[in-house]
Amino acid sequence: MMTQGSQYLGKLYNDLIANSPQTISMDIPSDMGKGRIAQTKIKHGVILSDWQMCYQADMNVQGTVSKEYMQIIFCLNDGISWGIMDEQRSVTIQKNESCIYAGHGGTEYICYKKDSNFSFKSIKIPLSYFSHLLADYFDGQEVTAYEKKLLGGISKVPVTPIMEQILAETSRFTQYRGGLGYLYLDGKLLELLSIYLGEVLELDILMGKNISMSKTERTAIMEAKRIIDSQLAFAPSCEELSRLVHLSVTKLTRGFSSFYGMPIHQYIIEQRLTQAAQLLLEGDWNVSEIAAIVGYGKPSNFAAAFKKRYGVAPKNYRESYLDDKKNKRSTVFGSKWVGFGLD
């Protein structure tokens, strides 16, 4: 016989399940092929979809695309093309490519070729929520840049390993119950968007530079920068980066300098020292610990590089920074008092 406490816990558990993000899935009928399509709806009307399909015959599909959403599609296996009837244009994405575009309200048609292994993940974000995110996290100029880039057409971005990792991690929300599942997925969505939107504008800036280079080389150089940023303390050598992004050392080093305005080695130093300055301001670690965190084996080498960059020893940086801010604030207030006196 269940006790009152057991009944309460049972009801609580069932309520948590009912209020967790729910996934609706559909298996591809066996007489048509194999695979599954799954959708998970989270907060703010965002829809995450996972498409795994292989058809026995060519499949033609068409449908209307809502104007209410911004959509990101990640192609993880065989590529696909689709046409937009009303605008008389087509879009193609290949393996490890993605695209982002706003809903146009028109009809799209897709042909899934037989015996192809299609693997896609997509994110549909209500435009109202997308605009809200831009307004919350970016200043006016950045918002204008993103709206100009994203609302007027289709942007393609390479699918980087970190994007794939985050996409894979979204399925782990089932480990959490109730609001924790939504919180987990919200966090993953924001993490993915921060990386994705950065790639969108960075790619746009790089493409705008008058540098003679193939798309493959540009993508490789961007991936090299992402690898450095993700493992700054243990950044690979130029030779190792060259192997990781499948580009010769010469093309990688020349292209990186052209795109980012400095050699790879200098970029690593600049990023390490920038991170170190932030850690020093937080005040939670000593100089030796910070030196190790950002990738310096010897604190003395770190101290010398830091003083050369910022003009002050690491141990004095926080005090110097705070004093500088205080002096600037005093100057501003002093100017105001002088102004009032003259009036």
pLDDT at 254 over 80: yes
∠335-337-341 over CA atoms, to 5°? 115
pLDDT band for 5, please (50, 70, 90 cuts).
Answer: very low
Instruction: State the average pLDDT for the chain.
Output: 80
Residue in the structure block whose two tokens are 């090299």: 224
**Lowest mean pLDDT: which of 61-75, 119-133, 329-343?**
329-343
How does pLDDT run across 277-321, given as a tens digit for each residue?
888 988 788 999 999 999 999 999 999 999 999 999 999 988 887
- What is the assigned CATH class of domain 215-322? mainly alpha
pLDDT at 11 over 70: no
- As a whole number of Å, the end-to-end CA separation of the chain is 85
Q: How far is it, in rounded angstroms, from Cα 230 to Cα 163?
A: 12
Residue 65 has pLDDT above 80, yes or no: no
Residue 9 or 125, more confident: 125
Does residue 88 carry a pLDDT above 80?
A: no
Closest Cα partner for 309 from 266, 270, 275? 270
Residues contacting 299, CB < 8 A, separation 6+: 287, 288, 291
Query: Does pLDDT of 100 surpass 90?
Result: no
Fold of 19-208: Jelly Rolls (2.60.120)
For the chain, percent of residues with pLDDT exceeding 90: 18
Considering only the C-alpha atoms of the chain, give the largest distance between any 2 of them, rounded to a whole number of Å: 88
Picking from 95-99, 180-184, 201-205, 320-324, which range would have the lowest pLDDT averaged per residue? 201-205
Whether 226 contacts 197, CB under 8 Å = no
- In Å, what is the CA distance from 314 to each residue of 49, 161, 276, 287, 303? 48, 34, 9, 7, 6
pLDDT at 9 over 80: no
Q: What is the arithmetic mean of pLDDT over 148-175?
A: 81
Report the pLDDT value the prediction gives residue 325, as an integer from 0 to 100: 57
pLDDT of residue 174: 82
What proportion of the chain, given as a percentage, has pLDDT over 70? 82
Three-class SS state of 51: strand
**19-208 and 215-322 in the same fold:** no
Higher pLDDT among residues 89 and 17, named by residue: 89
Kindly tell me if the per-residue pLDDT of 78 is higher than 70.
Answer: yes
Tell me the domain boundaries of the chain.
19-208, 215-322
Is the pLDDT reported for residue 335 higher than 70?
no
What digits encode the pLDDT tens for the residues 260-282? 778 999 999 998 998 898 889 88
Which pLDDT band, with edges at 50, 70 and 90, does 211 fall under? Answer: low
